[in-house]
Structure 1
Amino acid sequence: METKANHFFYVLECADNSLYAGYTNNLEKRIATHNAGKGAKYTKPRTPVKCVYYETFETKQEAMRAEYAFKQLGRRDKLNYIGGLK
Structure 2
Amino acid sequence: MVVHHVYVLACADDTLYTGYTTDVERRVAEHNAGNGAKYTQSRTPVEVVHVESFETRSAALSREYAIKQLSRAEKDRLVDD
Q: Specify if TM > 0.5.
A: yes
1:74 deviates by 0.6
Structure having the higher helix fraction is: 2
| Structure 1 ranges of 4+ moved more than 2 A | none
In the superposition, the TM-score normalised over structure 2's length comes to 0.95
Tell me how many residue pairs correspond in the alignment.
81
Matches within 5 A, 1:23-42: 23-42=20-39
Alignment of 1:73 with 2:41, yes or no, is no
Unmatched 5+ stretches in structure 1 = none
In the superposition, the TM-score normalised over structure 1's length comes to 0.90
Question: Over the residues paired in the alignment, what is the CA RMSD in angstroms?
Answer: 1.1
Matches within 5 A, 1:1-86: 4=1, 6-83=3-80
- Is this contact kept in 2: 1:57–1:63, CA < 8 A? yes
1:5 deviates by 5.8
* Percentage identity across paired residues of the two chains: 52
1:8 deviates by 0.2
Deviations 1:51-78 (A, max 9, x none): 0000110011111111100011110011
Amino acid at match of 1:51: V
Unmatched 5+ stretches in structure 2 = none
> Whole-Å Cα distance in 2 between the matches of residues 44 and 78 of structure 1?
21
